[in-house]
């Protein structure tokens, strides 16, 4: 890779303004249309978005919800997780995954991740007890877990799978999309997610008609098509205004995935041969996985010094979850933890390089050149 200009750049971790600026005219038209119609709650733009997601994923049912965390609670409850159950989830995840289990009345059981940072199927199997009813795989960093291995365990032990696909919209394992494997799944539409809206938002999906109906009731006060209350429910609807924004975004989404994969390929090329670093698999390096690179999570044996070096060069990086896996947050009582030595070691090493569609090739080249300088490997 050619070394870019020597001028110092300033590269933020994420450019929130880009979400609007890149599609300004179409977004303004969509928002103006909704506001002029006064179409704010459960209107046609939401139905159109839900239809768009069903078509994109090839899934039978999709509902827009207020945020990904609510989506997880709704997915767990609609799938049949009960108070007192144990649900197995990796500790390398956002607190929301474990919180949703807690608020469904169940116990989060925190397990290890493997070398690819995804939930470790062997650790799942080892954590099962007579109270276990569900596995929650995290489709982390825009990659789908080894769903064959998890499905085999679930089938043999009669466990549900509820996918946390908050970071995985568009990612696939053996050709099948994240969010279409388990009894139920959730996606987040938080602005920094692969498909981000202008605030909070989420989606729940399922191929099961009975679960879909419970999801619909749960997200809107337990009300059925006639407005009559059938059961207890939440107010967790995706705003119609956000849905209209998302309809614009969804049209460009396949191209954005390709751009993320191109950026990941540039990183892989630019950081090749640095023995101290571990990179995510490059696009198509592994035929079972189609990754959408929600994040570009790397490992370095000299992480903190490398991050300080990048910061001095104007490059902002972050560590997911403020550098703390779920089991290390002391205030989260009522979880059960297993041996998490590998996760703890990973959290001495891992961090995120900038990865989003506002990045230019030149910026990725600049980041890679800065890292090569750190390792004394110019050029």
Ligand X SMILES: *Cc1c(COP(=O)(O)O)cnc(C)c1O
Query: Closest distance between ligand X and the C-beta of residue 222, in Å?
Result: 21
Q: How many CB atoms lie within 10 A of CB 271?
A: 21
Closest C-alpha among 57, 49, 90 to residue 206: 57
From residue 89, give the alpha-carbon distance in Å to each of 121, 129, 161: 11, 14, 11
Element holding 213 (H helix, E strand):
helix 209-219
Binders of ligand X among residues 62 to 91 (CB under 6 A) are 67-69
Q: Cβ-closest residue to ligand X?
A: 68
Give dist(CA 226, CA 246) in Å, integer: 27
Q: Is 144 in the site for ligand X (CB under 6 A)?
A: no
Count of residues of this chain found to bind ligand X when the rule CB under 6 A is applied: 15
User: CA angle, 183 as apex, 219 and 56 as ends, to 5°?
Assistant: 75
Residue with tokens 């009669």: 158
Query: Closest distance between ligand X and the C-beta of residue 274, in Å?
Result: 27
Binders of ligand X among residues 1 to 40 (CB under 6 A) are none
Residue 51 neighbours by CB under 8 Å, 6+ apart:
none
Please, which residue, 108 or 365, has the CB nearer to ligand X? 108
Q: Is 166 in the site for ligand X (CB under 6 A)?
A: yes
x-or-dash pattern for ligand X, window 188-207, by CB under 6 A? x-x---------x-x-----
Structure tokens at 134: 């569900």
From residue 266, give the alpha-carbon distance in Å to each of 22, 124, 231, 367: 22, 34, 51, 11
Query: Closest distance between ligand X and the C-beta of residue 295, in Å?
Result: 9
Please, which residue, 202 or 233, has the CB nearer to ligand X? 202
Please, which residue, 329 or 375, has the CB nearer to ligand X? 329
Query: Closest distance between ligand X and the C-beta of residue 132, in Å?
Result: 20
Q: Is 164 in the site for ligand X (CB under 6 A)?
A: yes
Query: Closest distance between ligand X and the C-beta of residue 113, in Å?
Result: 12
Q: Which residues bind ligand X (CB under 6 A)?
A: 67-69, 93-94, 96-97, 138, 164, 166-167, 188, 190, 200, 202
């Amino acid at each position: 890779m050619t070394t870019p200009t020597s001028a110092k750049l300033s590269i933020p971790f994420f450019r929130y303004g880009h979400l609007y600026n890149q599609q300004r005219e179409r977004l303004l038209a969509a928002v103006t249309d909704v506001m002029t119609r006064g179409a704010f709650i459960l209107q046609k733009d939401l139905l159109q978005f839900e239809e768009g997601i069903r078509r994109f994923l090839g899934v039978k049912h999709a509902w827009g919800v207020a945020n990904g965390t609510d989506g997880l609670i709704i997915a767990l409850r609609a799938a049949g997780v009960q108070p007192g159950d144990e649900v197995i989830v990796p500790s390398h995840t956002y607190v929301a995954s474990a919180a949703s289990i807690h608020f469904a009345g169940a116990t989060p059981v925190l397990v290890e991740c493997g070398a690819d940072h995804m939930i470790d199927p062997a650790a799942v199997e080892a954590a099962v007890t007579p109270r276990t009813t569900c596995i929650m795989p995290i489709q982390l960093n825009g990659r789908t877990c080894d769903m064959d291995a998890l499905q085999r365990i679930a089938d043999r032990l009669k466990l549900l799978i509820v996918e946390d696909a908050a970071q995985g919209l568009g990612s696939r394992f053996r050709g099948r999309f994240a969010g279409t494997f388990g009894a139920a799944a959730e996606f987040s539409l938080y602005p920094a997610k692969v498909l981000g809206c202008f605030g909070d938002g989420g989606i729940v999906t399922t191929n099961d008609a009975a679960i879909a109906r419970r999801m619909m009731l749960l997200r809107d006060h337990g009300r059925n098509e006639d407005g009559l209350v059938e059961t207890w429910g939440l107010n967790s609807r995706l705003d119609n205004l956000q849905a209209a924004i998302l309809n614009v975004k969804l049209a460009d989404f396949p191209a954005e995935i390709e751009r993320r994969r191109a950026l990941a390929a540039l990183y892989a090329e630019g950081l090749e041969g640095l023995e101290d670093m571990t990179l995510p698999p490059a696009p198509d390096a592994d035929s079972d996985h189609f990754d959408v690179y929600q994040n570009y999570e790397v490992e370095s044996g000299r992480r903190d010094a490398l991050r300080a070096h990048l910061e001095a060069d104007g490059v902002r990086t972050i560590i997911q979850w403020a550098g703390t896996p779920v089991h290390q947050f002391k205030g989260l009582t009522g979880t059960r933890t297993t041996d998490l030595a590998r996760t703890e070691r990973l959290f001495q090493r891992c961090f995120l390089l900038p990865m989003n569609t506002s990045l230019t090739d030149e910026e990725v080249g600049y980041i890679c050149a800065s890292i090569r300088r750190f390792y004394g490997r110019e050029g």
